[in-house]
Amino acid sequence: MNSSPQVVDFAVGLIPLLAAIMLVLQLLLLAQRMLVTVIRVFALQSLLLAVIAGVVGYTCHAWHVTLVAVLTVMGKVLFLPWLLERLIRRVRIEQEISPWLNMPASLFLCGGLTLLGYLVARPFASAERVGGNTLAVAVALVLTGFFLLINRRKALTQVLALLTMENGVMLAAIAFSSHGMPLVVELGIFFDVVIAVMVLGLLVFRIRETFASMDTSRLNELKG
């Protein structure tokens, strides 16, 4: 099925937009308090990533990219959020406590990080196959995800921050190669993420059992 040039450049134009939305979602995550909404925002972000992957797969006739898109949808959009929400219901906590850095400061810092992302990605613009600055967005996603991880104190939010960073990396992968990485690597990464989240869920549950709270700042007995 040969796609006409318009369709191709239409698709190419769409991807940066979607990437930009993913970044916006990421900043939204920063301001979120309710855990349930945090999970839903993550699911939405993963959906966008899947759409990008699908678009790239479709346009470049790379069947395994589309397969990855489908897997992303099944895994990150449906299965993982369901798993985490089930966990929240059993643990009955809703509220994220005050973060380490207050809201305006963290937003300002995330802006800076995004800028740094662009700075880092600028020399590689030529190497990109897809869209203008998806690599910049990917780097920004990773750095802001990292900052989010540092900023939040709840265990579950930290898990999600980690997953957003992983989304950033997958975006970068897609950005670089229209054909994505070899299938075995993609599959490996995907299954690893799934197992990771399951293990993290188990641990969060156990911490909730023993510490009666998911606040990781309680975890500071081991010193020196």
Taking CB under 8 A as the criterion, the residue among 11, 42, 48, 147 binding another protein is 147
| Per-residue CA distances from 6 to 13, 14, 51, 96 (Å) | 10, 12, 19, 46
Taking the complex as a whole, the smallest distance from the CB of residue 62 to another protein amounts, in Å, to: 8
Q: Percentages helix, strand, coil for the chain, rounded to the nearest 5?
A: 80, 0, 20
- Cα R_g (the chain), whole angstroms: 18
Taking the complex as a whole, the smallest distance from the CB of residue 172 to another protein amounts, in Å, to: 5
The stretch near another protein (CB under 8 A) out of 13-21, 68-76, 82-90, 213-221 is 213-221
The stretch near another protein (CB under 8 A) out of 15-23, 36-44, 72-80, 173-181 is 173-181
Query: At 79, which amino acid appears?
Result: F
* Contacting another protein within 10-69 (CB under 8 A): 62
Taking CB under 8 A as the criterion, the residue among 85, 93, 162, 213 binding another protein is 162
- 153 CB contacts (<8 Å, ≥6 apart)? 96, 97, 99, 100, 215, 216, 217
* Tokens encoding 124: 């590689």
Q: Which residue has the tokens 């939040």?
A: 152
| Per-residue CA distances from 96 to 93, 116, 145 (Å) | 9, 28, 17
* Contacting another protein within 60-119 (CB under 8 A): 62, 100, 116, 119
Taking the complex as a whole, the smallest distance from the CB of residue 199 to another protein amounts, in Å, to: 5
Q: How many CB atoms lie within 10 A of CB 8?
A: 14
Q: What is the binding site for another protein (CB under 8 A)?
A: 62, 100, 116, 119-120, 123-124, 127, 129, 142, 145-147, 149-151, 153, 155, 158, 162, 165-166, 168-169, 172-173, 176-179, 181-182, 184-185, 188-189, 191-192, 195-196, 199-200, 202-203, 206-207, 210-211, 216-217, 219-224
